[in-house]
Structure 1
Amino acid sequence: MTSLPQSQAATADLEEIEEALARLAPRGFTLGLHIRYSRPVRRVSTYPSQWIQTYTQRNLGVGDPMMIWCVMNQGSIAWHELIRQMPDPLDVMGQARAHGLVYGAALAWGPAESRSYIGAAHPDRDFTATEIARMAALLRKAHDLLDRDTALRPILVAALEAIACGMTYDQACEALGISRTALRYRLRMAREVLGAEDNPQAVRKAIDAGLLNGVSLSGLSKGLPTGPADSPD
């Protein structure tokens, strides 16, 4: 039997994790993996659609006590306890209750610079300790899966940075101290790891994954001019 490529295999495993979370959290959940530059690399939410719409339209994420707690902590906390501990100036938790999200928990795992989280809701009771433990295990597994799948070696990130800030191939080669052949190879490897068809798509995917910050200084710091990058070979 032919094995799946790493990215496809990881996606399949993540989908299984999300299905398991759906069974544990029948009122819905949000799973965010690897918050980098203020947004997760992968995010999925199964909360009621009206609540998702309200949350998005009112920009409640900027003041969500659950998100703030997850950024600042590792572990788990029940929503009723979260309300006692965290300020809620936008009344996010109150608005959630109005949409039927009364019982739930928040879980967080990973280093501060790349943290993953779960927000999970139950329709009629708090989660048991066993259910929390299961969700925590699923969160750790998903965190590790995506971390491996989005990893790029520093030399590949540097090559993408050069293209991201608008260098031509010749300028990038000079900045990185490598040959044109080596640059092409590194960009090709970066595209393969990220599952991108061309360099611009690879740059966008790397930014979305938190691997690039979107405003590269590598070329500017060397005082090099920038220009349109060559087409990939």
Structure 2
Amino acid sequence: MSSLAKEFEALGSLAPAGYSAGLHIRFASPLIYVRTYNEAWTKIYDDNAFALRDPLVFWGLGVKGHTRWSAIKLPDPFNILGQARSHGLVYGAVISCGPITSRTIVGVAHSEREFTDEEIQRAVKIVHSLHAAAEPPTELTPAQIEALRLLADGDRHAAAAAKLGISESAFKARLQSARVRLGARTTAQALKRAREYQLL
């Protein structure tokens, strides 16, 4: 099991009514987004674009740290927290970490009681581990970018190697090093991640 999977499992065991985790939010979109809230609430949340109006998200973008939902006094004109309560998300905590350019925001929910201070501290530790485990690379070498770009443009290995004036095995070595740098198992996954991280 990957370190991310282990941390998500630990988060799930801590949050009996589910959680929502947006890791490394950049340009209003997280690199990794995992939710385990009930399906009916998730549908309402998505159908109404509540992520753009959610006071918990606003708190997480504005503050690094942690707090209980009940302590957040931001306006909630769409009654998002009230609607969440009607779906069993009565109590909760939000944890936010990372720079504003790559913020991680996680909400954990409980249907029966407030989270204890100890539980919140455990959640904070898990969220920081998730943030670190999902940290995207900040750069690729020019050779790696060049190799990935040629594949993205539709070139096959032999044609791309010829354009670069290198052997096909040298080209494959560049792709391999790019996969390692991006934590990708396949070249297709490396291309996807490079685009997501805005490295291409």
After TM superposition, list the pairs within 5 Å mapping 1:152-171 onto structure 2: 153-155=139-141, 158-159=145-146, 162-163=149-150, 166=153, 169=160
1:48 aligns with 2:38: yes
TM-score computed with the length of structure 1 as normaliser? 0.70
Which is worse superposed, 93-102 or 153-162? 153-162
Instruction: Give the letter aligned to residue 158 of structure 1.
Output: I
Contact 1:33 1:115 in 2 (8 A): yes
Within the alignment, does 1:89 sit opposite 2:77 as a pair? yes
Residue 63 of structure 1: aligned partner: 53
- Report whether the alignment pairs 1:111 with 2:99: yes
TM-score normalized by the length of structure 2: 0.80
**CA, structure 1 residues 29+60, in 2 after alignment: closer, same or farther (shift >3 Å)?**
same
Q: Which runs of 5+ in 1 are unaligned?
A: 1-8, 174-178, 217-233
Identity between Structure 1 and Structure 2 (%): 32
- Kindly indicate whether the alpha-carbon contact (under 8 Å) linking 1:108 and 1:116 is maintained by their aligned counterparts in 2: yes
Q: Is the 8 A contact 1:70 1:107 kept in 2?
A: yes
Q: Distance in 2 between matches of 1:40 and 1:191?
A: 21
Using the alignment, how far apart are the partners of 2:58 and 2:19 within structure 1? 17
1:165: Cα distance to partner? 7.6
Of the three residues 4, 21, 27, the one matched with 2:11 is 21
Secondary structure of 1:120 counterpart: strand
Counterpart CA distance in 2 for 1:58 and 1:157 is 41
Report how many residues are paired.
Answer: 191
- Cα distance, 1:163 vs. partner? 4.2
Contact 2:147 2:171 in 1 (8 A): no
Tell me the amino acid that sits aligned with residue 29 of structure 1: Y
Task: Report the CA distance between 1:152 and its aligned residue.
Answer: 6.0
Q: CA deviation at 1:62?
A: 1.4
The correspondence of residues 24-43 of structure 1 with structure 2, limited to 5 A, is: 24-43=14-33
Change beyond 3 A, Cα 1:183–1:211? farther
Q: 1:57 to 1:187 in 2, by over 3 A?
A: same
- Cα separation, 2, equivalents of 1:160 and 1:81: 50
| Residue 122 of structure 1, CA deviation | 1.0
1:163-197 deviation per Cα after TM superposition (whole angstroms, max 9, x unaligned):
48849648x85xxxxx545665333322343222x
Q: Matches of 1:71 and 1:78 in 2, distance apart?
A: 15
SS of 2:134 mapped into structure 1: helix
Q: CA deviation at 1:23?
A: 2.1
Residue in structure 1 matching 2:129, options 117, 130, 141 = 141
For 2:28 and 2:166, the matched residues in 1 are separated by 35
